[in-house]
Chains A and B, each alone.
Chain A
């Protein structure tokens, strides 16, 4: 088995007196694709946001490539440059072209030369099928296109781990496919990913491991086939039965 890239130990998060995450414990190994399932409010998104420190965890620690991540701004930024994140609402920079959106991180965070950053940008824009649109502004694109650009932007940082926070939830049904195809290609290329999603079939197809969360705890975790076809916990069965029609 390959070495763990990310370990989450006893992670806790509360907003005021409301506990959103309770003692979360799991690890991600190189090359794994992990899907996180659960109903709204189960803490899936908060878990991802805590991993990337967009929310400050209230307790516990995150170990990345063997070293605990500190909250000092410098360490935090470095950690984030190694871990990509794709949002539900794309969050592309509104004042920059598609090309600039992808280029800027490689250039000013990873300190790549202009030529290197350009090569990376073109490579990944082609990979997501958006190189033709490189001069467009985000506002001029459809949702699916924006999300593909957002994925390219994350890839241009050459991350060792990619986090997806419900990447298709804000998309029209006919655009979901194009984004899922891109994620599938990434999985095939061996990218390590954690995907929070509501696309059950997709999760079953693509994942090497599935985590089911409910009320801020990990209820069950296992191989997709086992978890989908033979769930052990009552809550998992209940959740999955709602998706089977």
Chain B
């Protein structure tokens, strides 16, 4: 068998020979990033809302106590996750579940859990900030017509929070794509893991990592472009039409 002699020759050779592995790695990376971001955002929105709950002095004592306990749990979760590296969290979850409870979870599932929990912690802080950033008049306007706290959050506050957070969600997704690479430590077969395996055969580190760099770049660049478009569309119409009345005028 004849081997290529130039850099581009090797790149071409590796792509041709291993394109299936690259694509499989890319697929796993995308899956992890998408599911992790979606679950992480859901978790983040829930935790962020819990942490922003006001304690209504007029509500019952058990409810006030319950809210306080929830808030403490939420605060501990956020602080612990933010203060430890993603890679370490992955190791702790993957090996911890095995040695403590004897549960052998699939590394892919462990990967999704770690991604979600990690993204959730960061997202919850953004959500909390965004809720706090909404003009208090929005809440008062709802209260003045007798809407409950839940109704105001659902119909008034959260739609505005969500719209303001779309760029943030985009950012999160983009960094999630790149963060998946650390999950190779628990043997999740994502793109970086695929590259590492491929280098094991021909020892062509530079060429292989250049290939996955290009893949990561194309991926994240495309995603951020798509998100830009989405953001523009969600901004809504800038103009409105007057509704003509048939009779009243004149």
Contacts and interface: CB of A to CB of B under 8 A. Distances in A.
Interface string B133-145: 0010110111111
Interface string A82-123: 101101011111111100000011001100000000000000
Interface stretch (B32-40, B119-127, B149-157): B149-157
A108 B151 contact: yes
Nearest to A137: B240
Interface residues of B, number: 32
B147 interface: yes
A76 B242 contact: no
Nearest to B145: A105
A77 interface: yes
Given A73-B56, A73-B58, A137-B240, A95 B159 contact: yes
Nearest to B58: A71
Nearest to A52: B144
B144 A132 contact: no
* Interface residues of chain B: helix, strand, loop or mixed (majority): loop
Interface in A53-84: 54, 56, 70-73, 76-82, 84
B145 A81 contact: yes
B138 to A, nearest CB: 6
B182 to A, nearest CB: 38
A40 interface: no
Contacts of A82: 146
Contacts of B233: none
Considering residues A73, A87, A89, A157, which has the most beta carbons from chain B within 10 angstroms of its beta carbon? A73
Given A56-B57, A89-B137, A93-B156, A136 B145 contact: no
A93 B58 contact: no
Contact of B245 (A70, A79, A104, A132): A132
A4 to B, nearest CB: 21
A228 interface: no
A202 interface: no
B141 A132 contact: no
Considering residues B57, B142, B163, which has the most beta carbons from chain A within 10 angstroms of its beta carbon? B142
A132 B56 CA distance: 39
Considering residues B137, B138, B140, B145, which has the most beta carbons from chain A within 10 angstroms of its beta carbon? B145
Contacts of A140: 240
A150 B160 CA distance: 19
A80 B58 CA distance: 14
Given A71-B57, A72-B59, A91 B146 contact: no
B118 to A, nearest CB: 30
B39 to A, nearest CB: 26
Contacts of B56: 73
B244 interface: yes
A85 B145 CA distance: 7
Contacts of A71: 57-58
A234 to B, nearest CB: 36
Contacts of A154: 144-145
A90 B145 CA distance: 13
A80 B145 contact: yes
A25 interface: no
B100 interface: no
Contact of A87 (B144, B240, B244): B144
Nearest to A105: B145
Interface of B: 56-60, 135, 137-138, 140-149, 151, 155-156, 159-160, 163, 236, 240-245, 248
10 contacts: A73-B148, A81-B146, A84-B144, A93-B142, A96-B155, A97-B240, A109-B147, A132-B244, A150-B141, A157-B145
Interface of A: 52, 54, 56, 70-73, 76-82, 84-85, 87, 89-97, 104-105, 108-109, 126, 131-137, 140, 150, 153-154, 157
Given A73-B58, A104-B155, A132-B242, 14 more contacts: A54-B144, A72-B59, A77-B148, A81-B145, A89-B137, A90-B137, A95-B159, A108-B155, A109-B151, A131-B245, A133-B240, A133-B243, A136-B240, A157-B145
